[in-house]
Amino acid sequence: MTSEEGFVTTTTASTTADAGALDLPLVQHWISGAASAGSGDRAADVYDPATGKRTKTVALASPGDVNAAVAAAKAAFPAWRDTSLARRTTILFKFRQLLDERKGELAEIITAEHGKVVSDALGEVSRGQEVVELACGINHLVKGAFTENASTKIDVYSIRQPLGVVSIISPFNFPAMVPMWFFPVAIAAGNTVVLKPSEKDPSAANFIARLWKDAGLPDGVFNVLHGDKVAVDGLLTHPDVASVSFVGSTPIAKYVYETGTAHGKRVQALGGAKNHMLVLPDADLDLAADAAVNAGFGSAGERCMAVSALVAVDSVADELIAKIKDRVATLRTGDGRRGCDMGPLVTGAHRDKVTGYVDAGVTEGAELVIDGREVVPDGDADGFWLGPTLFDKVGTDMSIYTDEIFGPVLSVVRVESYAEGLDLINANKYGNGVAIFTNDGGAARKFRNEVQVGMIGINVPVPVPVAYFSFGGWKQSLFGDTHAHGVEGVHFFTRGKVVTERWLDPSHGGLNLGFPQND
Ligand code: NAD
CA distance 179 to 222: 11
Q: The pTM is what?
A: 0.95
Ligand 1 pocket check for 247: Cβ under 6 Å: yes
Q: List phi, psi (to 5°) of 308.
A: -120, -15
Atom of ligand 1 nearest to the CA of 199: 11
Q: List phi, psi (to 5°) of 451.
A: -80, 140
Q: What one-character-per-residue DSSP string does 24-68 give?
A: SEEEPEEETTEEE--S--EEEEEEETTTTEEEEEEEE--HHHHHH
Rounded distance from Cα 248 to ligand 1 centre (Å): 2
Ligand 1 pocket check for 243: Cβ under 6 Å: no
What is the largest distance, in Å, between two alpha-carbon atoms of the chain?
Answer: 88
Q: What residues are annotated to the active site?
A: 304
Instruction: Assess contact for 386 and 88: CB atoms under 8 A.
Output: no
Under-50 pLDDT residues of the chain: 1-4, 6, 10-17, 19-21
pLDDT in tens, 266-316: 999 999 999 999 999 999 999 999 999 999 999 999 999 999 999 999 789
Ligand 1 pocket check for 304: Cβ under 6 Å: yes
SS3 518: coil
- pLDDT given at position 253: 98
Rounded distance from Cα 495 to ligand 1 centre (Å): 27
Instruction: Assess contact for 323 and 285: CB atoms under 8 A.
Output: yes
- pLDDT given at position 318: 97
Q: Residues of 215-225 as b/e, b for ≥16 C-beta within 10 angstroms?
A: bebbbbbbbbb
Ligand 1 pocket check for 248: Cβ under 6 Å: yes
Atom of ligand 1 nearest to the CA of 406: 31
- pLDDT given at position 3: 46
- pLDDT given at position 265: 98
For the chain, the 3-state helix, strand and coil shares in percent, each to the nearest 5, are 40, 25, 35
- pLDDT given at position 7: 54
- pLDDT given at position 14: 40
Mutate which of 181, 226, 247, 307 for ligand 1? The one with the most ligand atoms within 8 Å of its CB, which is 247
- pLDDT given at position 165: 99
SS3 268: strand
CA distance 438 to 426: 19
- pLDDT given at position 507: 61
**Residue with CA closest to ligand 1 atom 23:** 248
Q: Residues of 83-122 as b/e, b for ≥16 C-beta within 10 angstroms?
A: eebeebbebbebbbebbeebbeebbbbbbbbbbbbbebbb
Rounded distance from Cα 424 to ligand 1 centre (Å): 26
Rounded distance from Cα 253 to ligand 1 centre (Å): 7
Instruction: Assess contact for 399 and 427: CB atoms under 8 A.
Output: no
Q: What one-character-per-residue DSSP string does 450-467 give?
A: H---SEEEES-SS-PPPT
